[in-house]
Amino acid sequence: MSAAAAGASTGPGEHNLAVLTEESYARHGDHPAVFFEGTWHSSTEIAERSARVAGGLRELGIEPGDRVVVLTMNTPEVFVSYRALWRVGAVVTPVIFLQTPPELRHILEDSGAKAAIVTPELLPLVQAAGEGLDLTVIVAGGDRVDLDTPPPSGSGGSTSGAGLVAYESLESADPIDIVPRGDDDLAALLYTGGTTGRAKGVMLSHRGLWESGHALHRVGESQGTTRWLLPLPLSHAYGLIVVISGMHSSRPQSSVLQRWFDAKGWLELAQEHQVESSTVVPSMLQMLLDQPYQDYDLSSLRSFGSGGAPLLPALRAKAEEGFGVTILEGYGCTESSAVIAASTVEESRPGSVGKPLAHAEVIIAGLDGEPVPTGEEGEIWVRGPGVMQGYWKDPAQTAATVVDGWLHTGDIGHFDADGYLYVDDRIKDLIIRGGFNVFPRDVEDALLAHEAVTAAAVVGRPDEQRGEEVVAAVALHPGARATPEELIAFAKTRLAPHKYPREVLILDAVPVTSVGKTDRKAVRSLIRTTEGES
């Protein structure tokens, strides 16, 4: 089962993302583009600032192909910086700010970043991570930081290069024209979360991101949505592709930007600006439902776009009923330029992530590498222009992941008879207990059916007798009560004998990653710690 790949290039460089930004501005003209903390920023302001910042970057010595880290909270400067970096021909290297200094240092060293754009609150992190590196640090909002004062002793800091530069100083430069870039030139280098080891740089081309953004735009165009609330980190693949998708729109788009997601603030902004849609991950939906959302006027809200992690059917149903919206699930990964499949208002099926997008050819492959029959599970493979060019400086891992043009996603899924795609689990998360396969999501779904449970994560624990044992970590609704024994007994009534958890750990909160996915690595660590204490 597949969707035909589309979008063949008709000329070199026609997918330059800097050109796309100019085409979008020319198409829509001046309009309110980004609202942030009390102020609207117009499309003209963003376009003009981008051209000047590009000139300032060039004066700093940023050349085509140079990697520049963008490590900021969600601010208008993210929109400006992406456009400016593409304009000067540089490679956007977005980094989510929830990093430790060693994690960030690995990215700085591995990417060979020439500069980093940061917001003031993240300056100490970059100084600690970048100690001794030849790195220019550009501080957006530098008027709030004394750039002439060296960092305090022990905080690290750049010891060579141009040191600290105020973002505002870049805007005094003369605007520059767009630097030509080819379709296959790098537009972005995104680092994976590194949950199974050191983070790997994913190389995404101008054409790959252009095509993926265009395919996502085509799916959402029929809704007619023009006002969005963006709480997702724009420094993540999901947030980045949402930005690019908006550039393809035939209608002027207005984005209400949240510095970082908090449920109460989201509800206030949605009411104040009468937003029509918002892109979220499932954990955000649950946090919104835990608020007194009925007290807010959300009558303009029509849909949520949900991705980044599986959306449980029960949570989807509760959110759709509570908010009176359609939830549009989607699926992708960093290595596929963020998107592979997505639902539409006309074609939305609970449990499914929709149908493959126009730029993606998808098959479900068995162990022999051949497509499996409809309805059977296998690994999701995808090929098309959105597939990464490879892992940065890692040809061996690239060759193991992209084979004959097919990206092996590592996800287990299946198609139904109507061509809807379902993502069932991750291959690496599969638990093999006594020779039987156990998908963690099946066990999590069973536990979440208990009225006291608000979140669940299931992992395998090494076991001498069975190979692995099924262990669950859960969090309860505020004020709810349940014992581990009660939850195990409940799961036994809903799962086959080899599937139900033999141990349940009750936590205040189940660990999640910076983009709302269950952090199984952290769960495994907690379980090991608990075993050590027992």
Q: What is the mean pLDDT of residues 103-118?
A: 96
Query: From CA 364, how far away is CA 340, in angstroms rounded?
Result: 13
Cα–Cα distance for residue pair 127/139, rounded to 1 Å: 11
pLDDT band (50, 70, 90) for residue 100: confident
Strand ranges inside 158-300, DSSP E: 164-166, 186-191, 201-205, 227-230, 254-257, 277-280
In terms of Cβ atoms closer than 10 Å to its own Cβ (0-12, 13-18, 19+), residue 404 is exposed
Identify the residue with better confidence: 472 or 10: 472
Name the CATH superfamily, with its identifier, for domain 205-427. Answer: ANL, N-terminal domain (3.40.50.12780)
pLDDT in tens, 67-96: 999 999 999 999 999 999 999 999 999 998
Sequence-ordered list of residues with C-beta below 8 angstroms from that of 361, at least 6 positions apart, any chain:
2, 3, 4, 5, 382, 383, 384
pTM for this predicted structure: 0.82
Q: Which of 191, 190, 207 minimizes the C-alpha distance to 199?
A: 191
Mean pLDDT of all residues belonging to the chain: 88
> How much of the chain, in percent, has pLDDT values that exceed 90?
70
Does the pLDDT of residue 159 top 60, yes or no?
Answer: no
Strand partners, 378: 413
- In the CATH hierarchy, which fold is given to the domain comprising 430-533? GMP Synthetase; Chain A, domain 3 (3.30.300)
When pLDDT is averaged across residues 331-340 and rounded to a whole number, the result is: 94
Whole-number Å distance between alpha carbons of 200 and 442: 29
Tell the burial category of 294 from Cβ atoms under 10 Å away from its Cβ (0-12, 13-18, 19+).
exposed
What's the confidence (pLDDT) of residue 222? 66
Residues 150-162 have a mean pLDDT of 39
Quick check: 526 pLDDT over 70?
Answer: yes
User: pLDDT tens digits, residue range 245-298?
Assistant: 999 999 999 999 999 899 999 999 999 999 999 999 888 898 899 999 999 999
Query: Which of 344-353, 359-368, 384-393 is the least confident region?
Result: 344-353
**End-to-end C-alpha distance for the chain, whole angstroms:** 50
Residue 432: band (very low, low, confident or very high) from pLDDT cuts 50, 70, 90: confident
CATH class for the region spanning 17-180: alpha beta
Q: Which residue has the tokens 């536990």?
A: 447
Element spanning 40, H or E: strand 39-42
Count of beta carbons in the 10 Å neighbourhood of residue 465: 6
CA distance 413 to 441: 12
Q: Could you report the per-residue pLDDT of 480-508, keeping only the tens digit for each?
A: 999 999 999 999 999 988 899 999 999 99
User: 39-42 and 32-36: which strand pairing?
Assistant: antiparallel
Q: Tell me the per-residue pLDDT of 298-313, one tens digit each, with 9 for 90 and over.
A: 999 999 998 877 787 8
205-427 matches 17-180 in CATH topology: yes
pLDDT score of 532: 52
Report the distance separating Cα 63 and Cα 89, nearest Å: 7
Tokens encoding 112: 């060979």
Q: What's the confidence (pLDDT) of residue 310?
A: 74
Residue boundaries of the structural domains of the chain: 17-180, 205-427, 430-533
- What is the Cα gyration radius of the chain? 23
> What is the 3-class SS of 84-143, one letter each residue?
HHHHHCCEEEECCCCCCHHHHHHHHHHHCCCEEEECHHHHHHHHHHCCCCECEEEECCHH
Q: What is the pLDDT of residue 527?
A: 82
User: Which of 7-16, 103-112, 373-382 is the least confident region?
Assistant: 7-16
Residue 533 is predicted with a pLDDT of 54
- Report d(CA 39, CA 46) in Å as an integer: 13
- Amino acid letter at 123? L
pLDDT above 50 (res 205): yes
In sequence order, the β-bridge partners of residue 117 are: 70, 138
